[in-house]
Chains A and B, each alone.
Chain A
């Protein structure tokens, strides 16, 4: 009888734990630290901002960030704005490829390094989270930084910027449920913290600032070349040589 009661109690506890973990979500808050909160003047949604602009995007690997994913996302953003983008993930162990003459060499070379600068996970909260079936949230904080530089084809530095952002992630049923309720009742749509709103906000900031930086670099190149029009070397499609 006692063992049956014990078994029933164990099943009940495990059941509640499973429900709690299944319902658990993450609440992530994004905070721009350096540069990302500054306003921009270009519209990153405009498809004509970088028409006839050829860009080589080089992503350098660093701790905590996948350069392939970074290159892919940024390439997509610049392509939507009319640029012709080639990407290169710079591997420190790979030998430098021999320079092959290209029909349409890039006009601008963007070097971007994104790395994890600071990370903090509270071990006490993690333990409490486990023992409380995620009622007490486990909180981790991460700060990332990006170093972006843009040069022209001759290697002359046109623009440079450092960006930093911070993400505070809380994992747990209690914090997720409470914030979900507040999001439903009180917070306006663009203030909501549950869901992936933080990703969209950060992406908007990063892509916007990259677009602004490239635009500034283009204008600077134009001024340095005494306002000479950019040489168009790309052959129009459909014409015979």
Chain B
């Protein structure tokens, strides 16, 4: 009987830590695979370096997991989906935008998103990225008059940005050398950002 009991202890050596994690914990990890050599370099106190004979033909990999800072259910799904990929999305949009505009233009950035805190995060991300690229960026957001805003709120998506852009230049809210980058969502159920630039009174969606 005793050898049997001893044998039952052996599986303890092989149990994956996943079994001790709840479903919420498993889903709150970002994981990716690294070779053991790379993992030992990045996490020296946690991953031992592979034996010398293994390095040349290293086929052992390590699963590296990081806990997400904000758990999945903490923020609304769309906000979380956009904020999780904020840097990647905004980088792509700002790269495309900066390629389409003359180098000397002064940039203004704003975001149009149902949640104001998230809109501010999107705008700040874009401003910082453009400024890091060496482009002249202003923190000031061009603001139309209250009456114009009231009229624009009644227009469909297809027209609002185009008309707002034209109005900004016609009322001298934006100068000739200025360019405005707008970041927004167009549909309530999408999780990607769109961008458009307003330059010399003309609105153009970013590809």
Contact = CB atoms under 8 A, between A and B. Distances in A.
Are A and B close enough to touch in the complex, i.e. CB under 8 Å? yes
A216 B77 contact: no
A141 interface: yes
Instruction: List the 10 closest pairs (A to B, CB-CB), nearest first.
Output: A227-B158, A39-B77, A41-B78, A33-B31, A37-B27, A41-B189, A219-B187, A219-B190, A29-B18, A216-B192
Contacts of A136: 7-8, 10-11, 14
B31 A223 contact: no
A143 B189 CA distance: 30
B78 A220 contact: no
Contacts, number: 110
Interface string A197-241: 000010000000000100110011011101100000000000000
A96 to B, nearest CB: 28
A37 B29 contact: yes
5 contacts: A41-B189, A118-B61, A132-B10, A136-B7, A219-B187
Given A33-B32, A166-B63, A42 B189 contact: yes
Contacts of A219: 186-187, 190, 192, 194
A196 B25 CA distance: 20
Interface in A107-150: 117-118, 122, 125, 128, 132, 135-137, 139, 141, 143
Contacts of A132: 7, 10
A40 interface: yes
A135 B10 CA distance: 10
A103 interface: no
Given A38-B84, A41-B190, A219-B187, A168 B18 contact: yes
B77 A29 contact: no
A160 to B, nearest CB: 11
B207 interface: yes
A193 interface: yes
B81 A38 contact: yes
B133 interface: no
A87 interface: no
A32 interface: yes
A222 B190 CA distance: 12
A19 B190 CA distance: 53
A226 B77 contact: no
B42 interface: no
A37 B28 contact: yes
B125 to A, nearest CB: 18
Interface string A17-56: 0000000000001111110011111100000000000000
Contacts of A122: 14
Contacts of B29: 31, 37
